[in-house]
Structure 1
Protein backbone atom coordinates (compact mmCIF):
# COMPACT_ATOMS: atom_id res chain seq x y z
CA UNK A 1 0.00 0.00 0.00
CA UNK A 2 1.66 3.21 -1.24
CA UNK A 3 0.49 6.19 0.80
CA UNK A 4 1.34 9.69 2.03
CA UNK A 5 0.78 11.42 5.36
CA UNK A 6 -1.07 14.33 3.71
CA UNK A 7 -3.50 12.07 1.80
CA UNK A 8 -7.00 12.07 3.34
CA UNK A 9 -8.13 8.78 1.76
CA UNK A 10 -4.86 7.18 2.92
CA UNK A 11 -5.54 8.37 6.47
CA UNK A 12 -9.08 7.01 6.35
CA UNK A 13 -8.04 3.52 5.20
CA UNK A 14 -5.15 3.12 7.69
CA UNK A 15 -7.36 1.73 10.51
CA UNK A 16 -8.83 -0.85 8.10
CA UNK A 17 -5.37 -1.89 6.86
CA UNK A 18 -4.23 -2.14 10.48
CA UNK A 19 -7.24 -4.33 11.31
CA UNK A 20 -6.56 -6.56 8.27
CA UNK A 21 -2.93 -6.89 9.38
CA UNK A 22 -3.89 -7.85 12.94
CA UNK A 23 -6.81 -10.12 11.97
CA UNK A 24 -4.71 -12.00 9.40
CA UNK A 25 -1.84 -12.89 11.71
CA UNK A 26 0.47 -9.86 11.62
CA UNK A 27 2.47 -11.16 8.63
CA UNK A 28 3.06 -14.54 10.30
CA UNK A 29 0.75 -16.41 7.90
CA UNK A 30 0.15 -16.40 4.16
CA UNK A 31 -0.71 -12.70 3.97
CA UNK A 32 1.94 -9.99 4.20
CA UNK A 33 0.82 -6.38 4.65
CA UNK A 34 3.31 -3.61 3.84
CA UNK A 35 3.02 0.14 3.62
CA UNK A 36 5.38 2.21 1.48
CA UNK A 37 6.10 5.89 2.12
CA UNK A 38 8.26 8.27 0.08
CA UNK A 39 9.77 10.77 2.55
CA UNK A 40 11.77 13.78 1.45
CA UNK A 41 15.52 13.72 2.03
CA UNK A 42 18.23 16.32 1.61
CA UNK A 43 19.28 14.66 -1.64
CA UNK A 44 15.70 14.10 -2.81
CA UNK A 45 13.64 17.15 -1.80
CA UNK A 46 10.93 16.41 -4.39
CA UNK A 47 9.85 13.08 -2.88
CA UNK A 48 6.13 12.76 -2.17
CA UNK A 49 6.00 13.20 1.60
CA UNK A 50 7.40 14.99 4.63
CA UNK A 51 10.73 14.02 6.21
CA UNK A 52 11.40 10.45 7.35
CA UNK A 53 11.26 11.59 10.99
CA UNK A 54 7.85 13.19 10.37
CA UNK A 55 6.58 10.07 8.57
CA UNK A 56 7.72 7.94 11.53
CA UNK A 57 5.95 10.32 13.94
CA UNK A 58 2.79 10.01 11.82
CA UNK A 59 3.07 6.20 11.94
CA UNK A 60 3.27 6.35 15.74
CA UNK A 61 0.37 8.84 15.99
CA UNK A 62 -1.82 6.65 13.78
CA UNK A 63 -0.97 3.48 15.72
CA UNK A 64 0.34 1.71 12.63
CA UNK A 65 2.03 -1.56 13.60
CA UNK A 66 2.33 -3.13 10.14
CA UNK A 67 5.72 -2.60 8.46
CA UNK A 68 6.18 0.61 6.50
CA UNK A 69 9.09 0.77 4.08
CA UNK A 70 10.79 4.13 3.60
CA UNK A 71 11.41 4.57 -0.11
CA UNK A 72 13.80 7.48 0.30
CA UNK A 73 15.24 7.06 -3.22
CA UNK A 74 11.84 6.88 -4.94
CA UNK A 75 12.93 3.65 -6.63
CA UNK A 76 9.84 1.66 -5.54
CA UNK A 77 7.45 4.51 -6.32
CA UNK A 78 8.99 4.80 -9.78
CA UNK A 79 9.16 1.05 -10.37
CA UNK A 80 5.49 0.61 -9.49
CA UNK A 81 4.61 3.80 -11.40
CA UNK A 82 2.76 5.37 -8.49
CA UNK A 83 0.77 8.37 -9.72
CA UNK A 84 -1.94 8.68 -7.05
CA UNK A 85 -2.52 7.92 -3.39
CA UNK A 86 -3.35 5.51 -2.04
CA UNK A 87 -2.39 2.75 -4.47
CA UNK A 88 -2.49 -0.86 -3.33
CA UNK A 89 -0.83 -3.74 -5.14
CA UNK A 90 -1.72 -7.40 -4.68
CA UNK A 91 1.27 -9.65 -5.19
CA UNK A 92 0.74 -13.41 -5.29
CA UNK A 93 2.75 -16.10 -3.54
CA UNK A 94 5.05 -16.37 -6.56
CA UNK A 95 5.91 -12.66 -6.38
CA UNK A 96 3.85 -11.73 -9.43
CA UNK A 97 1.56 -8.71 -9.48
CA UNK A 98 -2.00 -10.05 -9.35
CA UNK A 99 -3.55 -6.60 -9.61
CA UNK A 100 -3.66 -3.12 -8.17
CA UNK A 101 -6.19 -0.52 -7.12
CA UNK A 102 -5.72 3.25 -7.10
CA UNK A 103 -7.91 4.87 -4.50
CA UNK A 104 -9.19 4.16 -1.03
CA UNK A 105 -10.25 0.63 -0.16
CA UNK A 106 -13.12 -0.33 2.11
CA UNK A 107 -12.80 -3.33 4.47
CA UNK A 108 -15.03 -5.40 2.15
CA UNK A 109 -12.84 -4.52 -0.83
CA UNK A 110 -9.72 -5.46 1.15
CA UNK A 111 -11.17 -8.85 2.08
CA UNK A 112 -12.23 -9.47 -1.51
CA UNK A 113 -8.88 -8.63 -3.08
CA UNK A 114 -7.00 -10.68 -0.48
CA UNK A 115 -9.20 -13.70 -1.20
CA UNK A 116 -8.90 -13.22 -4.97
CA UNK A 117 -5.13 -12.90 -4.79
CA UNK A 118 -4.70 -15.87 -2.48
CA UNK A 119 -7.00 -18.10 -4.54
CA UNK A 120 -5.63 -16.86 -7.86
CA UNK A 121 -9.20 -16.37 -9.11
CA UNK A 122 -10.40 -12.92 -10.05
CA UNK A 123 -13.97 -12.00 -9.20
CA UNK A 124 -16.28 -11.51 -12.16
CA UNK A 125 -17.85 -8.51 -10.43
CA UNK A 126 -16.87 -5.16 -11.90
Structure 2
Protein backbone atom coordinates (compact mmCIF):
# COMPACT_ATOMS: atom_id res chain seq x y z
CA UNK A 1 0.00 0.00 0.00
CA UNK A 2 2.83 2.40 0.88
CA UNK A 3 4.45 1.59 -2.46
CA UNK A 4 1.23 2.40 -4.32
CA UNK A 5 0.86 5.73 -2.50
CA UNK A 6 4.49 6.60 -3.30
CA UNK A 7 3.99 5.78 -6.99
CA UNK A 8 0.78 7.83 -7.18
CA UNK A 9 2.50 10.73 -5.43
CA UNK A 10 5.33 10.69 -7.97
CA UNK A 11 2.93 10.48 -10.93
CA UNK A 12 0.77 13.34 -9.71
CA UNK A 13 3.83 15.42 -8.89
CA UNK A 14 5.02 15.24 -12.49
CA UNK A 15 1.56 15.99 -13.85
CA UNK A 16 1.25 19.05 -11.64
CA UNK A 17 4.79 20.18 -12.46
CA UNK A 18 4.22 20.14 -16.21
CA UNK A 19 0.85 21.89 -15.90
CA UNK A 20 2.35 24.60 -13.71
CA UNK A 21 5.17 25.23 -16.20
CA UNK A 22 2.81 26.14 -19.05
CA UNK A 23 2.37 29.91 -18.97
CA UNK A 24 -1.27 30.86 -18.51
CA UNK A 25 -2.49 33.24 -21.17
CA UNK A 26 -4.20 36.51 -20.35
CA UNK A 27 -5.16 39.72 -22.05
CA UNK A 28 -5.89 43.34 -21.27
CA UNK A 29 -5.51 46.90 -22.47
CA UNK A 30 -2.10 48.58 -22.44
CA UNK A 31 -1.22 52.22 -21.75
CA UNK A 32 -1.71 52.97 -25.46
CA UNK A 33 -5.29 51.60 -25.35
CA UNK A 34 -4.27 48.63 -27.49
CA UNK A 35 -5.55 45.14 -26.76
CA UNK A 36 -2.65 42.93 -25.68
CA UNK A 37 -2.62 39.17 -25.23
CA UNK A 38 0.14 36.67 -24.53
CA UNK A 39 -1.27 34.72 -27.47
CA UNK A 40 0.02 37.50 -29.76
CA UNK A 41 3.59 36.59 -28.81
CA UNK A 42 3.64 32.81 -29.32
CA UNK A 43 7.09 31.62 -30.31
CA UNK A 44 8.76 34.62 -28.66
CA UNK A 45 10.90 34.87 -25.52
CA UNK A 46 8.69 36.91 -23.15
CA UNK A 47 9.76 38.87 -20.09
CA UNK A 48 6.78 39.79 -17.92
CA UNK A 49 7.25 42.23 -15.08
CA UNK A 50 4.46 42.40 -12.53
CA UNK A 51 4.67 45.76 -10.77
CA UNK A 52 2.75 48.24 -8.63
CA UNK A 53 2.78 52.04 -8.48
CA UNK A 54 3.47 52.07 -4.72
CA UNK A 55 6.49 49.74 -5.01
CA UNK A 56 9.91 51.46 -4.61
CA UNK A 57 11.80 48.53 -6.19
CA UNK A 58 9.47 48.68 -9.21
CA UNK A 59 10.28 52.35 -9.71
CA UNK A 60 13.96 51.37 -9.75
CA UNK A 61 13.51 48.39 -12.06
CA UNK A 62 11.24 49.89 -14.76
CA UNK A 63 13.94 52.20 -16.25
CA UNK A 64 16.39 49.27 -16.42
CA UNK A 65 13.82 47.13 -18.21
CA UNK A 66 13.14 50.05 -20.56
CA UNK A 67 16.83 50.13 -21.52
CA UNK A 68 16.77 46.41 -22.26
CA UNK A 69 13.50 46.79 -24.18
CA UNK A 70 15.15 49.31 -26.50
CA UNK A 71 18.43 47.40 -26.66
CA UNK A 72 16.68 44.21 -27.82
CA UNK A 73 14.48 45.75 -30.52
CA UNK A 74 11.42 47.25 -28.82
CA UNK A 75 9.41 44.00 -29.12
CA UNK A 76 10.03 43.80 -32.89
CA UNK A 77 12.41 40.83 -32.62
CA UNK A 78 12.34 37.58 -30.65
CA UNK A 79 12.50 39.22 -27.21
CA UNK A 80 9.28 40.74 -25.84
CA UNK A 81 8.95 42.91 -22.73
CA UNK A 82 5.52 43.34 -21.15
CA UNK A 83 4.59 45.03 -17.92
CA UNK A 84 1.58 43.81 -15.96
CA UNK A 85 -0.32 45.92 -13.46
CA UNK A 86 -3.72 45.50 -11.82
CA UNK A 87 -4.29 49.06 -10.68
CA UNK A 88 -6.21 51.71 -12.59
CA UNK A 89 -4.90 52.93 -15.93
CA UNK A 90 -4.47 56.54 -14.78
CA UNK A 91 -2.15 55.59 -11.89
CA UNK A 92 -0.17 53.20 -14.07
CA UNK A 93 0.29 55.79 -16.84
CA UNK A 94 1.48 58.35 -14.29
CA UNK A 95 4.32 56.09 -13.10
CA UNK A 96 5.17 54.94 -16.63
CA UNK A 97 5.53 58.58 -17.68
CA UNK A 98 7.59 59.45 -14.59
CA UNK A 99 10.00 56.57 -15.30
CA UNK A 100 10.05 57.11 -19.09
CA UNK A 101 8.79 53.56 -19.58
CA UNK A 102 7.43 52.90 -23.07
CA UNK A 103 7.24 49.10 -23.27
CA UNK A 104 3.62 47.91 -23.21
CA UNK A 105 2.10 47.52 -19.77
CA UNK A 106 -1.11 45.54 -19.63
CA UNK A 107 -3.74 46.41 -17.04
CA UNK A 108 -5.10 42.97 -16.20
CA UNK A 109 -6.79 41.60 -13.09
CA UNK A 110 -7.01 38.28 -14.94
CA UNK A 111 -3.20 37.95 -15.02
CA UNK A 112 -2.99 38.33 -11.25
CA UNK A 113 -5.55 35.55 -10.83
CA UNK A 114 -3.56 33.21 -13.08
CA UNK A 115 -0.03 33.93 -11.82
CA UNK A 116 0.93 33.47 -8.14
CA UNK A 117 2.22 37.01 -7.54
CA UNK A 118 3.05 37.49 -3.84
CA UNK A 119 5.37 40.51 -3.97
CA UNK A 120 6.55 43.24 -6.30
CA UNK A 121 8.30 43.40 -8.61
CA UNK A 122 8.06 39.86 -9.93
CA UNK A 123 9.64 38.85 -13.23
CA UNK A 124 8.26 35.85 -15.10
CA UNK A 125 10.21 34.64 -18.11
CA UNK A 126 8.37 32.58 -20.71
CA UNK A 127 10.34 30.58 -23.25
CA UNK A 128 9.53 30.22 -26.95
CA UNK A 129 7.49 27.09 -26.22
CA UNK A 130 5.17 28.97 -23.88
CA UNK A 131 6.62 27.51 -20.69
CA UNK A 132 7.57 29.45 -17.58
CA UNK A 133 11.35 29.36 -17.62
CA UNK A 134 12.06 31.61 -14.63
CA UNK A 135 10.11 33.25 -11.83
CA UNK A 136 11.95 35.83 -9.73
CA UNK A 137 10.58 37.95 -6.90
CA UNK A 138 12.37 41.25 -6.35
CA UNK A 139 14.22 43.65 -8.60
CA UNK A 140 16.74 42.01 -10.91
CA UNK A 141 19.88 43.96 -11.80
CA UNK A 142 19.94 44.95 -15.48
CA UNK A 143 23.21 43.07 -16.04
CA UNK A 144 21.78 39.83 -14.64
CA UNK A 145 18.73 39.97 -16.88
CA UNK A 146 20.91 40.91 -19.84
CA UNK A 147 23.09 37.80 -19.30
CA UNK A 148 19.95 35.67 -19.14
CA UNK A 149 18.64 37.16 -22.41
CA UNK A 150 22.00 36.72 -24.15
CA UNK A 151 22.18 33.08 -23.08
CA UNK A 152 18.69 32.58 -24.53
CA UNK A 153 19.76 34.20 -27.81
CA UNK A 154 22.87 32.03 -27.88
CA UNK A 155 20.77 28.87 -27.39
CA UNK A 156 18.48 29.91 -30.23
CA UNK A 157 21.40 30.23 -32.62
CA UNK A 158 22.24 26.52 -32.27
TM-score over 0.5 for the pair: yes
Residue 131 of structure 2 corresponds to residue 96 of structure 1: yes
Listed as ranges, the gaps of 5+ residues in structure 1 are 40-50, 121-126
Q: RMSD value over aligned CA atoms?
A: 1.7
Alignment match, 1:12: 60
1:67-118: CA deviation from partner (whole Å, max 9, x where unpaired): 00001xx221121110100000110111111111100010111112223444
Unaligned stretches of 5+ in structure 2? Answer: 1-48
The structure carrying a bigger strand percent of its residues is 2
What is the count of residue pairs matched by the alignment? 108
| Structure ID, larger Rg | 2
In the alignment, the residues of structure 2 paired with residue 117 and residue 91 of structure 1 have an alpha-carbon distance, to the nearest angstrom, of 11
Aligned residue among 64, 88, 96 for 1:59: 96
Post-superposition CA distance 1:19-69 (Å, at most 9, x none):
000000000111000000111xxxxxxxxxxx3212112212221110000
- So what's the TM-score if we normalise by structure 2? 0.64
**TM-score by structure 1 length?**
0.79
